[in-house]
Homo-oligomer: A and B are copies of this chain.
Amino acid sequence: MTADPLPPGSTIGILGGGQLGRMLAMAAARLGLRTHVYCPDPDSPAFDVAAARTVAAYTDETALTAFAAGCDAVTFEFENVPARTVEVLSARLPTRPGARSLAVCQDRLEEKRLCAALGIATADWLPVDDAEGARAAAATLARPAILKTRRLGYDGKGQACVDGPEAAEDAFAAIGGAVSVLEARVPFACEVSVIGVRAADGAFAAYDVTENEHEAGILRTSRVPARIGEETAAAARAIARRIADALGHVGVLGVEMFVLREGNCESLLVNEIAPRVHNTGHWTIEACPASQFEAHVRAVAGWPLPSTRRVADARMTNLIGADAEAWAELAAEPGAALHLYGKREARPGRKMGHVTRLGPTADPTRPLTVGEVDSA
């Protein structure tokens, strides 16, 4: 897969037109690369910053073929790309990441199997194919557990709590009777993620481990540094690298993990793998010489990976639904970096933007307070 880097002026195709595609397109433009965004929704936020646009279904092979003809490489802002779509594109031009990264990461069961094969710990899990299987799995796993669809879950969607076998069949119905995985709930001390980037030649770099808080299944804040030990952080980065290597991944990937703590001892369980730029890496735009978006574009274009060094503490807060109505106050907050995604409609649960606040680097263990800004 190693090849000459794409020269400035080349066109990167991006499948998906949301905020991740939008920030990818801007990072590409900074490097003198053009982007062509492909998305079925004519109101896609990424269209506003792309040199070329295709509005078509992901399964429209005529449109895909024309799109491929106008691009020098293709990437994805989301993992739920139909296999046939990847096949059509990858027959015509480099697609980064490749089919294996997408196939594994769009199926929760495949993710678990990959971790198991690599000897990377996860919460206990069992596959669930039907209502009876849900009951049997719930009888086996410690309670409480959580039933998650294998495919198409995001932001807490496609999940249901299972407090024992008698509740399992209802939970299975609640998630639409989809093939799924039952996972034991773990008493984690905190959730963290690693944003790593892997080049086609196997080079790898990771940003500092991020500590994340979710509300109602949706990411609320990410902060760096994570309040975990240095050895734990190193172990987390090593896990991300092993996963990226095993996938032959090219580009950024985000690996979410639970941190368990007993006394002074911390351990990690992998929760989810996203073969793409990740919401928990948005702080890299302000706090690093090159953001996760630039890192991904560089990997896709075959350029050298950037420095992933962090130059400031940071806290990123998502603006969800009506949160973005506070844009005027946020714009008036000195030093708060406000990002709005240009979405026309603020539906509940919809990510409308985010704000990143930088803090001092001096003391990495010092907690940041919400009101603390502009003090780097």
Using CB atoms and an 8 Å cutoff, list the residues of chain A in contact with chain B. Answer: 5, 7-9, 22, 25-26, 29-35, 47-51, 286, 289-290, 298, 303-304, 306-307, 309, 311-312, 324, 327-328, 331-332, 334-342, 344, 353, 358, 374, 376
Contact = CB atoms under 8 A, between A and B. Distances in A.
A351 to B, nearest CB: 12
Contact of A332 (B304, B324, B374): B304
A289 B359 CA distance: 11
A29 B9 contact: no
Contact of A51 (B48, B334, B335): B48
A374 B331 contact: no
Nearest to A285: B30
Given A289-B286, A307-B334, A324 B51 contact: no
17 contacts: A8-B324, A22-B29, A26-B49, A29-B48, A29-B49, A31-B340, A32-B339, A33-B342, A34-B48, A47-B51, A48-B51, A289-B337, A304-B328, A307-B335, A307-B374, A309-B334, A309-B374
A312 B307 CA distance: 17
Contacts of A26: 26, 29-30, 49
A32 B307 contact: no
A338 B49 contact: no
A42 to B, nearest CB: 12
A306 B353 CA distance: 18
Given A5-B328, A9-B342, A311-B358, 16 more contacts: A25-B49, A29-B49, A30-B338, A30-B339, A32-B327, A32-B339, A34-B48, A34-B342, A48-B50, A49-B51, A286-B289, A289-B337, A290-B337, A303-B328, A304-B328, A311-B376
Nearest to A327: B8
A304 B290 CA distance: 27
A311 B304 CA distance: 26
A32 B341 contact: yes
A49 to B, nearest CB: 5
A108 B319 CA distance: 47
A46 to B, nearest CB: 10
A339 B8 CA distance: 10
Contact of A331 (B298, B331, B335, B340): B298
A228 to B, nearest CB: 24
A350 to B, nearest CB: 13
Contacts of A30: 26, 338-340
A186 B51 CA distance: 46
Contacts of A339: 30-32
A285 B231 CA distance: 34
Contact of A335 (B35, B289, B328, B340): B289
Nearest to A32: B340
Contacts of A331: 5, 31, 298, 303-304
B8 A342 contact: yes
A311 B334 CA distance: 13
Given A29-B342, A286-B289, A309 B335 contact: yes
A313 B51 CA distance: 33
B344 A9 contact: yes
Contacts of A309: 334-335, 374
A19 to B, nearest CB: 10
